[in-house]
Structure 1
Amino acid sequence: MTDHQKPTTSSPSSATHVEGREDKTGVASSLLKGLPTLLVLAVMGGGWMVMHHINSGGSSAEELFEVAEATAPSDTLVLPEGKLNAAKFQSVAAQAQNVQHVHTVPGRLRYDQTKHVDVKAPMDGILAELIVTPGEHVETGDLIAVLRSPEIGQARAEILKRQKERDIAQQILQRELTLAKNLQAVSAMLDLGKSVDEIDSAFSNRALGAYRQEILSAYSKMRLADELIANIRPLVAAGAVSGRTVREREGERQLAETSFRTARDQASFAIEQSKMKAEANVSEANRQLNLAWQSLETLLGYKENKDTVNLSNEDALSRLEVRAPFSGSVESQGFANNERVMRGDSLVVLANTDSLSVEASIRESDWSAVALQPETEVSVLVPALDDRVFTAKVRYFGREVQADTNSVPLIARIENSEGLLRPGMFVRVTVPIGEARQALSIKPESVLQHENEKFVFVDMNDGAFKRVGVSTGQASEDWVEVTEGLSMGQLVVTHGAFLLKSELLLQGEGE
């Protein structure tokens, strides 16, 4: 050991401090040496957990959906492919459509008053036979009932009387026409200078009436005067007869000719007058006969076939047939066979329900509907037929405002070809108010409501659907006007919208 090398000595405290430093350094060194091993173990443990999760059946697609759903906004739904395929969602673009304000009012179905009548007895009598029964269908002109009525008998007897008078007038006219024709033929022979014997022979079997004696007698006297003059002229030339005698014979001949011409003129005038009078009598007889038929038909209520009507006996004369004024069904009957009926008594009620009337009241707030033109279509909902909707056409609006309801009646015609509608049914009538206009519209089934808020689901594609609040306006069966919330062309879910609402509510409960 040299002089400059001195042994060192330490106190106890110094020794302890040095030992502590040495111990810490050793632990850190140990940790640093074991860090790689720890990292390897951690990685292996994580991999084991992942493999264990995969092997236990976990779905990475569902986990991704859950992650996407968790990160999606609260008003948006993202559905997996399985739910999309199962739900079969359908969407329709928001688009411009004609919309019109409508108002639904209560109403009733009624008989068409033009096709619902009481078939009444036209006069007093006995109901001999009721042909039809309630529920039976009849056609126009079918026999409904038979009555026996003395009044009808008198009306038919009047017809018989007028027919006889007409026949007599026609016979007289025919005779006058024959006399006029024969007289014209006689005049032609007279103009030819035929002898009386020839004329008598030609018209021995032909009627000339009193004109035969008047004309032929005057003609015979004129012919005789001609013969006397012709015979006396040679005697005058021989001086056996004086000229005075000749002049007397010529004067007689002129008188005979005058009488003959007068007879012909009077006969022509008389025959023409008689013919005109006979024609007038025939016309008057026909008029009286027609009036008798009209009186009978007024009592009967229908037109009888004049060619086939039976007027041969008293039973036929008093027979009154009541016929159907239109085709329809017998709703009810009021009398039985052999009962006495009075004029105006209802025999049967006949109705045709192929079309009915819809009656509704339009109140003051909807009086603009009164401007609707006839044949305008209105919708009629029938609750009794599972809310089935029919179409009716406006016939007219009442002119008078009803004081108790401050409304005017609406009458529309509704077809009932299926026979489902019955008079008295309660209905709801939807009446258009004002003019139609273009507006952004969506399908009615797209509009949902929750806590007094209306909303729709907009298809965002790729399985995403966004809840969008909307404000609606006018609505019809096919379209609903959207006043706020949507723009033209956005795809709005129709089929499956309620399912999306349920999913959204479940998502809210989960949160």
Structure 2
Amino acid sequence: MTNVPAKAEPAENQKSAKSKSGLVATIAKVGPTLFVLAVMGGGWLAVHEINTGGGSEEEDSIVEEAAAPDSLTLPEGKVKAAKFESVPAQMQAVEHVHTIPGRIRYDETKHVDVKAPMDGILAEVLVTPGEHVESGQLLAVLRSPEIGQARAEVLKRQKEREIAQQMLQREMTLAKNLEQMSAMLDQGKSVDSIENAFRNRALGSYRQDILSAYAKMQLASELLSKIQPLANSGSVSGRTVRERQAERQMAETEFRTARDQATFAANQAKINAEAKVSEAERQLNLAWQSVETLLGYKGNKSTANLSNEEALSRLEIRAPFAGSVESRAFANNERVTRGDSLIVLANTDSLYVAASIRESDWSAVSLGQGTTVSVSVPALEDRIFEARIRYFGREVQADTNSVPLVATIENAEGLLRPGMFVRVTIPIGEAREALSVKPESVVQHENQEFVFVDESGGTFKRVDVATGQTSDEWVEVTKGLQPGQLVVTRGAFLLKSELLLQGEGE
């Protein structure tokens, strides 16, 4: 009996041991989960404390110190080395401008495709691409029978003119001699004296007609003068006297008629000769025009060589203006036909700028011819050139809803080339007075524009501004400045760097 209690005690101990081991196993199983939950809760409390401003006073002071300063003072040595310059903010005329894309183009009046005026053989080409030529310089030589025929026509018309001029000269000489002979006839000179005076001078058929009638008249006058005393004495009948008087009158009438006819015929011959000379001149000019049309330029008529067949068929192609050879299409001794492009010649001393004015910039169309616009060339590191408006197109382009703008730009330095992309800045609207500063005064940081006001003594204050319209010379300030404040122009970027470094140091 005494052994029973001894056996019961170990059973209870075993039960208690099993209970403890189960509790430990449970704790081991859920322990990691509880730990993770505790860590997450602690983290949430920390974030909540930060978001609700539960930071220390030390953290607040750090945030305040991180704010950028709005002014800085530089030592005297640094101010002298930087050589700052300042300009007062002042009222200036500002004008809204708009920049549009454009292209450099040839001036069509100075860009010529020299073409073959006729069929022939290109005997010589005397220039190469890139070569500069002067106005009238020989470019090429073409041989063609067509130009030979045109020059032969000139020779023919020249001969016809020479003949007409000789005829006119003869008729003028005859008219002059006839006039002088008429003066001697009026003086009653004898036939012999008149014939002696005009023995070696041209009178044509007028000599015989007039002098014959004059001789008859003089003979009739002599007979009448001889019979007149006899009639007074009664030796001759009155009838005979009357017959002699009638013969005298008839002879005088024939003489006067001969003179009138001679004078009229001489004047008519002179007029006809003059008309023939004029007609010959016109035909010669037409022949020369035909030659010049084939040549493509006006040649010197006085020095034109028409002496032989080789010279007749030689056509010299000359430069219509000074410029450079852009291209050449044929070599020596090649056959060409009418209209073939031989040489492209261009003068780029002045060029065109072509751009398009769209609907949003419609007011720019009212700009007058000659208005100055600025042209920026990206290929030349955005160098600015001036151009003058030549014209606006009248027709609106349907595909772009714009009108073309063409401006003339000088290219004396030869830097601009046709085809270059440019940016054209055109004024929009009327200019107005506004508070303005120099463009280099305005700097920017974190999308905020500001300037530095010179407060003297090496102290510079940052002033945030708002800007409006801009031009090459001035920037409108709509907010932040007052007229007369001294604003830094040269050295503004250096001050910006110093200000940012100062903020980082603090």
CA-CA distance at 1:365 after TM superposition: 0.6
Offset from partner CA, 1:390-410 (integer Å, 9 cap, x none): 111111111111111111111
Cα displacement (A) at 1:275: 1.5
Paired AA for residue 468 in structure 1: V
> In terms of mean alpha carbon deviation, does 230-239 or 392-401 score higher?
230-239
Label 1:364 to 1:248 Cα distance change in 2 as closer, same or farther (>3 A). Answer: same
The equivalent position to 2:205 in structure 1, one of 182, 199, 210, is 210
Q: Shift of residue 364 of structure 1? A: 0.9
- Structure showing greater Rg: 1
Alignment counterpart, residue 160 of structure 2, candidates 144, 150, 165: 165
Find the partner of 2:283 among 276, 285, 288. 288
Work out the CA distance in 2 between the residues paired with 1:447 and 1:152.
70
Q: Equivalent of 2:323, from 306, 318, 328?
A: 328
CA offsets 1:431-462 (integer angstroms, 9 cap, x no match): 11111111111222332323222222323334
Q: Please say if 1:189 is aligned against 2:198.
A: no
Cα separation, partners in 2 of 1:248 and 1:303, compared to 1, 3 Å: same
Match of 1:130 in 2: 125
Task: Indicate whether 1:409 and 2:409 are aligned.
Answer: no
Partner AA of 1:432 in structure 2: P
Residues paired across the two proteins, number? 442
Judging changes above 3 Å, is the alpha-carbon distance between structure 1 residues 250 and 74 closer, same or farther for their aligned structure 2 residues? closer
Equivalent position to 1:247, from 239, 242, 251 = 242
Question: Deviation at 1:86?
Answer: 5.2
Give the partner amino acid of 2:144.
S
Once residues 335 and 328 of structure 1 are traced to their aligned partners in structure 2, the CA distance between those partners, rounded to angstroms, is: 20
Asked if 1:396 corresponds to 2:396, the answer is no
Q: Percent identity?
A: 77
Q: 1:501 aligns with which of 473, 496, 501?
A: 496
Q: Label 1:490 to 1:176 Cα distance change in 2 as closer, same or farther (>3 A).
A: same
From the superposition, tell whether residues 499 and 200 of structure 1 become closer, same or farther in structure 2 (CA, over 3 Å). Answer: closer
Tell me the secondary structure at the aligned position of residue 285 of structure 2. Answer: helix
Structure 1 match to 2:307: 312
Deviation track 1:156-207 (CA, whole Å, cap 9, x = no partner) reads 2222222222211111111112112222222222222222222222222111
8 Å Cα contact 2:119/2:337 also seen in 1: yes
Q: What do the CA deviations read for 1:379-400 (whole angstroms, capped 9, x no partner)? A: 1111111221111111111111
Matches of 1:271 and 1:355 in 2, distance apart? Answer: 62
Aligned partner of 1:411: which letter? V
Structure 2 counterpart of 1:439, one-letter code: A
State the 1:411 CA deviation: 1.1
Which residues in structure 2 correspond to 1:410-429 (within 5 Å)? 410-429=405-424
The one-letter code sitting in structure 2 at the alignment partner of 1:214 is: D
Greater shift, 388-397 or 87-96, is seen at 87-96
Residue 198 of structure 1 is matched in structure 2 by: 193
What is the alpha-carbon distance in structure 2 between the residues aligned to residue 192 and residue 448 of structure 1? 110
| 1:81–1:258 distance in 2 versus 1, CA, 3 Å | closer
Distance across 2 between alignment mates of 1:125 and 1:113: 28
Could you tell me which residue of structure 2 aligns to residue 156 of structure 1? 151
Amino acid corresponding to residue 375 of structure 2 in structure 1: V
In the alignment, is residue 178 of structure 1 matched against residue 169 of structure 2? no
For residues 5-404 of structure 1, the aligned pairs below 5 Å read: 74-81=69-76, 83-84=78-79, 87-233=82-228, 242-404=237-399
In 1: Cα distance, 2:342 partner to 2:453 partner: 67
Mark the runs of 5 or more structure 1 residues left unpaired by the alignment.
1-68
SS class of match (2:292): helix
Deviates more, 1:178-187 or 1:499-508: 499-508
SS in 2 for 1:434: coil
Give secondary structure in 2 for the equivalent of 1:122: coil
Contact 2:68 2:500 in 1 (8 A): no
Q: 491-500 or 173-182: which moved more?
A: 491-500
Question: What is the alpha-carbon distance in structure 1 between the residues aligned to residue 278 and residue 270 of structure 2?
Answer: 12
Q: 1:234 to 1:341 in 2, by over 3 A?
A: same
Aligned to 1:453: 448
TM-score, with length taken from structure 1: 0.80
Partner Cα distance (1:168, 1:331) in 2: 48
Residue 147 of structure 1 and its aligned partner are, at CA, apart by 1.4
1:486 counterpart letter in structure 2: L
Unpaired runs of 5+ in structure 2? 1-63
- Equivalent-residue separation in structure 1 for 2:310 and 2:361 (angstroms): 62
Q: CA deviation at 1:505?
A: 3.6
Q: Distance in 2 between matches of 1:224 and 1:492?
A: 121
Residue 432 of structure 2 aligns to a residue whose secondary structure is strand
Tell me, in whole angstroms, the C-alpha distance in 2 between the residues paired with 1:224 and 1:193.
13
Cα deviation for residue 349 of structure 1 reads: 0.7
Mark the CA change 1:471 to 1:176 in structure 2 (over 3 Å): closer, same or farther: same
CA distance in 1, matches of 2:168, 2:204: 14
In the alignment, the residues of structure 1 paired with residue 499 and residue 439 of structure 2 have an alpha-carbon distance, to the nearest angstrom, of 20
1:446-504, Cα deviation, whole Å (9 max, x unpaired):
32323222222323334443332211111223321110111112222334433443444
Q: Superposition RMSD on alpha carbons, in Å?
A: 2.4
Question: CA–CA distance in 1 between the matches of 2:68 and 2:127?
Answer: 76
Q: Cα–Cα, structure 1 residues 205 and 366, in superposed 2: closer, same or farther, change >3 Å?
A: same
